[in-house]
Amino acid sequence: MPDSRIEIARVAKDFSVDGRPLRALDGIDLTVAPGEFVTIVGASGCGKSTLLRIVAGLDPAHDGEVRHDGRPVTGPSLQRGIVFQEPRLFPWLTVAGNIGLGLENAPLSAAERARLVAEHVALVGLSGFENAYPRQLSGGMAQRAAIARGLVNRPGLLLLDEPFGALDALTRARLQDELQRICAHEGITALLVTHDVDEALLLGDRVVVMAPRPGRIAEILDVSASKPRDRRDPVLAALRHAILDRLEATQAAQPQTATAREAGRRPAATLPLAARSA
């Protein structure tokens, strides 16, 4: 079941704000190969969450097409797991109960289910808190429970929306490593949104830089450094500068007219370092 290929073609999305259409996404083209780990960075409001929801199948009202292993995405699937930007734990369920929601429709015995839940409680470092309710957790603990819920049924594609945003640096580093290891081991394809450029570079085989208004792809950079990566790798530091420059440029310019196609094809050669445009 893993080995998920994702093809996003000409995806655009309009929201209606005060009766006027607001273009949240425009001309998004992106293909993610099976087992690939792609990270998305961009200023807040540039449509990252909107894009993930569309890929998850939670928002069918968009233009363009998303295909998962060749089949058009028309609704949610257990093969596409999603970790939302907010934990969204059900307050009336314990940590274990919430993680178990991810297995609600998995064809497993109760014992199997309990084993997987316990395993994932430990995985995200919540042992001892199985029976705690969300109100008793810190923001970071709640987010870890949400990550476990997204991972527990081992989807072929995992969509993660700023999953480590609420965590302290140490926990974040541990979970980044765990996530990377699990995805590599299971061949899970991952699409991870982050506002942390270092995180994007640490985890991504490619980094997608998005620009706002309308949300579009400004740049796609290959990160060729082998994984697992050292956070202090100088190659990453160089790429980091390139991405930051790119992000700053999109913030300063805010072009209303440039189409995503032009933006997406801007040659990598304009970047100071060895970033190859996809």
Ligand X SMILES: Nc1ncnc2c1ncn2[C@@H]1O[C@H](COP(=O)(O)OP(=O)(O)O)[C@@H](O)[C@H]1O
**Contacts of Mg ion in 62-101 (CB under 5 A):** 85
Considering the rule CB under 6 A, would residue 50 count as an interface residue with ligand X?
yes
Cis peptide before 228 (omega within 30 of 0): yes
Considering the rule CB under 6 A, would residue 17 count as an interface residue with ligand X?
yes
Considering the rule CB under 8 A, would residue 163 count as an interface residue with another protein?
no
User: Which range binds another protein by CB under 8 A, 11-19, 176-184, 226-234, 237-245?
Assistant: 176-184
* Minimum CB distance to another protein, residue 17 (Å): 17
Considering the rule CB under 8 A, would residue 58 count as an interface residue with another protein?
yes
For another protein, the closer CB: 141 or 217: 141
Between CA 132 and CA 97 the distance in angstroms is 10
> How many whole angstroms from its chain centre is CA 190?
7
Considering the rule CB under 6 A, would residue 167 count as an interface residue with ligand X?
no
**Contacts of another protein in 95-154 (CB under 8 A):** 101-102, 104-105, 116, 119-120, 122-123, 125-129, 132-136, 154
Per DSSP, what are the bridge partners of residue 194? 41
Interhelix angle for 169-186 vs 139-151, to 10°?
Answer: 0
Binding site partner of 45, from Mg ion, ligand X, another protein, none, Cβ cut-off 5-8 A by kind: ligand X
Considering the rule CB under 8 A, would residue 178 count as an interface residue with another protein?
yes
Q: Which one of residues 33, 49, 235, 258 is an interface residue with Mg ion (CB under 5 A)?
A: 49
SS3 18: coil
Considering the rule CB under 8 A, would residue 33 count as an interface residue with another protein?
no
Considering the rule CB under 6 A, would residue 45 count as an interface residue with ligand X?
yes
Return the closest-CA partner of residue 160 out of 193, 202, 112: 193
Considering the rule CB under 8 A, would residue 86 count as an interface residue with another protein?
yes
State the alpha helices, DSSP H only, in 4-157.
48-56, 95-100, 110-123, 139-151
For ligand X, the closer CB: 44 or 105: 44
Considering the rule CB under 6 A, would residue 47 count as an interface residue with ligand X?
yes
Residue 196: other Cβ atoms inside 10 A: 16
Give the list of residues 6+ apart from residue 91 with CB closer than 8 angstroms, or none.
Answer: 133, 134, 135
Considering the rule CB under 6 A, would residue 61 count as an interface residue with ligand X?
no
Helix (H) or strand (E) holding 262: helix 260-265
For ligand X, the closer CB: 49 or 171: 49
Across the beta sheet with 37-42, the strand order is 80-83, 157-161, 189-194, 37-42, 206-211, 216-222
Binding site partner of 37, from Mg ion, ligand X, another protein, none, Cβ cut-off 5-8 A by kind: none
What residue ranges bind ligand X (CB under 6 A)? 15, 17, 22, 24, 42, 44-50, 215
